[in-house]
């Protein structure tokens, strides 16, 4: 049988181990590394699949132009309410500037505070590129707004030229399915969460 002094020392040592957060910190960091690796691997695989889809469509050598139209003030307010940005009126503007600088053909455009402003810009740019022979393919990601269906009807069934984007975070109206265009879900571009 062990003496009480040995048992007390063992209990003290156990308590010190339990109170020592270093092991927990290391395990937490290890768990974060594993999650980061999984996310990176997933992003890589999705990117590879995206390149393969472009190759199959014959678009791998095309330049890609990305245009986003939004009410920057309204978007900033909405993101602030969700806890995703600061409380400043244009807190999202630093993201927009970074987006614009990330790639020469990427544009995040503040269309102003009226919803109709973004609609007006999007409809005009859609008409311009849909009728432009130099534009090889249009990926349309505003399928959360049924108001754009009428703008796409003239191109109904044109699967060679149009792909509609289904996003995980927004409603994809069934009216867009009736247009007979390609539909793709690009999870690696348009995420449903900040993760």
147-186 tens-digit pLDDT: 899 999 999 998 888 999 887 767 888 899 999 999 988 7
Q: Would residue 100 count as lying in a domain?
A: no
Q: Would residue 109 count as lying in a domain?
A: no
**What domain count does the chain have?**
1
CA distance 147 to 26: 52
| Selection from 166, 172, 155 nearest residue 190 by Cα | 166
Q: Would residue 96 count as lying in a domain?
A: no
Q: Would residue 25 count as lying in a domain?
A: yes
What residue ranges in the chain does DSSP mark as E strands? 66-70, 106-110, 138-140, 162-166, 182-185
How many whole angstroms from its chain centre is CA 141?
11
96-127 tens-digit pLDDT: 898 899 889 989 999 888 878 888 999 999 99
Containing domain of residue 47, as a range? 1-61
Please give the pLDDT value at position 195.
47
In the block, tokens 């539909």 appear at 183
Please give the pLDDT value at position 180.
92
Q: Would residue 98 count as lying in a domain?
A: no
| Selection from 21, 26, 107, 23 nearest residue 72 by Cα | 107
Please give the pLDDT value at position 93.
83
| Pair type for strands 66-70 and 106-110 | parallel
Q: Would residue 67 count as lying in a domain?
A: no
Q: Would residue 32 count as lying in a domain?
A: yes
Q: Is the pTM of this model over 0.85?
A: no
Q: Would residue 21 count as lying in a domain?
A: yes
What percent of the chain is modeled with pLDDT above 70?
Answer: 88
């Amino acid at each position: 049988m062990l003496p009480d002094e040995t048992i007390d020392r063992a209990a003290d040592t156990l308590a010190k181990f339990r109170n020592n957060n270093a092991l927990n910190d290391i395990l937490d960091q290890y768990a974060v590394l594993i999650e980061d690796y999984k996310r990176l691997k997933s992003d890589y695989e999705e990117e590879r699949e995206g390149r393969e889809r472009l190759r199959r469509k014959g678009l791998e050598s095309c330049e890609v132009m990305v245009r986003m139209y939004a009410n920057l003030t309204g978007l900033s307010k909405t993101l602030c309410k969700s806890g995703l940005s600061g409380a400043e009126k244009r807190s999202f503007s630093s993201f927009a500037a970074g987006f614009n600088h990330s790639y020469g053909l990427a544009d995040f455009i503040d269309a102003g505070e009226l919803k109709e402003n973004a609609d007006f810009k999007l409809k005009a740019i859609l008409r311009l590129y849909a009728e432009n022979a130099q534009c090889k393919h249009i990926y349309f990601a505003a399928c959360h707004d049924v108001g754009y269906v009428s703008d796409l009807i003239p191109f109904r069934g044109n699967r060679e030229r149009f792909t509609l984007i289904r996003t995980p975070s927004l409603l994809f109206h069934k009216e867009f399915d009736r247009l007979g265009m390609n539909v793709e879900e690009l999870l690696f571009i348009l995420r449903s969460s900040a993760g």
